[in-house]
Structure 1
Amino acid sequence: MESAYPYLKSLHIIFVVSWFAGLFYLPRLFIYHTEAHTKPEPARGILLAEYRKNEKLLFNAIMVPAMWLTILSASWMLYLIPAWLEQSWMHLKLTFVAGVVAYHFYCRKLIYELRQDHFRHSSFQLRLWNEVATILLFAIVFLVVLKNALDWIYGVVGLLVFALVIMMAVRLVKRRREQKQQKP
């Protein structure tokens, strides 16, 4: 059974990549969907219908199966190596994974809201939301590779700095876009 571990780990990585591809792209669709809401007809109707269709397809056909396959393969690996559950780095990693699952289901909530033309978040807020998956991915990868929860304080501080850099970059891009739009 232990000889299956490298294959299982490879599949797990593939499922994680697939899931995160959706987690990175879906909020971009939310941004475009929100911005399309302000366009004049007939473009608005055409774009909104297309974004609704693409969001639903991405979520149901890619993200949901990838999430469950990620969880299944991870559970199987933990079954093969249960000692990991006694290690503090794994506890912290599973906490971040719970954050990814919560992010996933909040994205589903946003799909339902946008489908009902409820635009609660601005495109700028959605751009910031889009970076949450990146921050979670960084945290999980560093924990898995380093397997050291004792340095989690440095990791959290680094993660916060990284998050601030991303937020500043998003603001800078927004400011530049607005400046370009104001020039004749």
Structure 2
Amino acid sequence: MSYLYLKAFHIFFVVSWFAGLFYLPRLFVNLAMARQPAEYDRLLLMANKLFRFMTPLGLLALATGLTLWLGFGIAGGWLHAKMALVGVLVVYHGYCGKLCRDFAAHANRRSHAWFRVYNELPVLVLLAVLILVVVKPF
């Protein structure tokens, strides 16, 4: 597979993964506010399905990114910073899975306001990664 095709697939998987990282915490906001059992169950079903859908997309984003890095020799200080931020996203993704399990067990102790703030982290990471990839400041 050529470099440009691989890069296009990497971007596609990253964008798709981020769609889930942006929307799943918004479902958590709504779950934290849900008062009716039917509403809670519907939102929980949506959250669990989204998490199961976005996990392979994240893995494919990681796999294509690693292939670009190791297979095509992409290097630089900016890449180390980007990889650290990707590590933050992987931890964030895993914590989203824990939150899904907490909601399923009716064990959530966080407020909808906390989830509104939590929802902003991937936006900030995306901005930082884009600056690193496009500007390559170091």
Same fold (TM over 0.5): yes
**Per-residue CA distance 1:32-83 (angstroms, 9 max, x = gap):** 01100xx2xxxx110111111111100102x111101001110111123225
Whether contact under 8 Å (2:14, 2:58) holds in the other structure is yes
* Aligned equivalent of 1:56, options 34, 48, 54: 48
Structure whose CA Rg is larger: 1
Q: Aligned equivalents of 2:122 and 2:50: distance in 1?
A: 16
* Aligned equivalent of 1:118, options 104, 107, 111: 107
Residues 1:71 and 2:62 are matched in the alignment: yes
Whether contact under 8 Å (2:27, 2:43) holds in the other structure is yes
Q: Aligned equivalents of 1:14 and 1:81: distance in 2?
A: 19
Matches within 5 A, 1:123-138: 123-138=112-127
SS in 2 for 1:65: helix
Whether contact under 8 Å (2:9, 2:64) holds in the other structure is yes
SS in 2 for 1:108: helix
Ranges in structure 1 where 5+ consecutive residues have no aligned partner: 150-184
Identity percentage of aligned residues: 37
Match in the other structure for 2:71? 80
Matches within 5 A, 1:7-156: 7-36=5-34, 39=35, 44-61=36-53, 63-84=54-75, 87-149=76-138
The root-mean-square deviation of aligned C-alpha atoms, in Å, is 1.0
Q: Aligned equivalents of 2:124 and 2:70: distance in 1?
A: 28
Higher relative contact order, structure no. (Cα contacts within 8 Å, ≥ 6 residues apart): 2
Q: Aligned equivalents of 2:87 and 2:117: distance in 1?
A: 20
Number of aligned residues: 138
Which letter maps to 1:108? G
Q: TM-score, normalised by structure 1?
A: 0.73
